[in-house]
Amino acid sequence: MTSEFTIGLHVLGFLTARGGEPLTSEVLARTYGTSPVVLRRVLSKLRQAGLVATRRGVGGGSVLGRPSSEISLLDVYVALTDEPELLPRHPGENTGPAQVLAAYINGIYAEAEAALLERLATVSIEQMDSEVRPEICAALEASRLVSVARA
Amino acid sequence: MTSEFTIGLHVLGFLTARGGEPLTSEVLARTYGTSPVVLRRVLSKLRQAGLVATRRGVGGGSVLGRPSSEISLLDVYVALTDEPELLPRHPGENTGPAQVLAAYINGIYAEAEAALLERLATVSIEQMDSEVRPEICAALEASRLVSVARA
DNA sequence: CTATTTGTAACCTGCCTGGTTACTAATTGG
DNA sequence: CCAATTAGTAACCAGGCAGGTTACAAATAG
Is there a contact between B95 and A139 if contact means CB atoms under 8 Å apart?
Answer: yes
SS3 category, A11: helix
Q: What is the DSSP string of A41-84?
A: HHHHHHHHTTSEEEE-STT-EEEESS-GGG-BHHHHHHHH-SSS
Q: What is the pLDDT of residues A4-21, one digit of tens each?
A: 999 999 999 999 998 889
How distant is C1' of C15 from CA of B86, in Å?
17
Chain B residue nearest residue A123, CA to CA: B108
Q: Residue B7 has what pLDDT? A: 94
d(CA A31, CA A10): 9
Strand D surroundings (CB within 7 A): A 1-4, 34-35, 37-38, 55-60; B 23-26, 36-37, 40-41, 43-44, 47, 54-62
For A98, the closest of B32, B87, B128 (CB atoms) is: B32
Is there a contact between B13 and A101 if contact means CB atoms under 8 Å apart?
Answer: yes
Is there a contact between B132 and A6 if contact means CB atoms under 8 Å apart?
Answer: no
The upper half-sphere exposure of residue B63, i.e. CA atoms within 13 Å in the direction of its Cβ, equals 10
Work out the minimum CA distance from A60 to partner chain B, whole angstroms.
23
- List chain A residues with CB under 8 Å of B104: 9, 128, 131-132
Percent of chain B with pLDDT over 90: 54
d(CA B6, CA A90): 8
Higher per-residue confidence, B135 vs A72: A72
d(CA A115, CA B13): 27
- List chain A residues with CB under 8 Å of B5: 105
Is there a contact between B132 and A104 if contact means CB atoms under 8 Å apart?
Answer: yes
Q: Residue B100 has what pLDDT? A: 78
Higher per-residue confidence, B18 vs A142: B18
Average pLDDT rounded to a whole number, residues B54-73:
96
Report the nearest residue to nucleotide D5, CA vs C1': B58
- List chain B residues with CB under 8 Å of A88: 2, 86
Q: Other C-beta atoms within 10 Å of B36: how many?
A: 15
Angle at B114 between CA B109 and CA B118, to 5 degrees: 150
Q: Which of A32-36, A69-73, A116-120, B80-84 has the lowest mean pLDDT?
A: B80-84
pLDDT classification of B27: cutoffs 50, 70, 90: very high
d(CA A109, CA A88): 8
Handedness of CA B83, B87, B92, B97 (dihedral sign): negative
Q: Which of A6-10, A137-141, B146-150 has the lowest mean pLDDT?
A: B146-150
For A10, the closest of B93, B98, B123 (CB atoms) is: B98
- List chain B residues with CB under 8 Å of A95: 139, 142-143
Q: Residue A146 has what pLDDT? A: 55
* Strand runs labelled E in B1-151: 52-55, 61-64
For chain A, state the CA radius of gyration: 19
Q: Residue A59 has what pLDDT? A: 93
Average pLDDT rounded to a whole number, residues A118-127:
94
- Tell me whether residue B52 is exposed, middle or buried, using C-beta atoms within 10 angstroms of its C-beta: 0 to 12, 13 to 18, 19 or more: buried
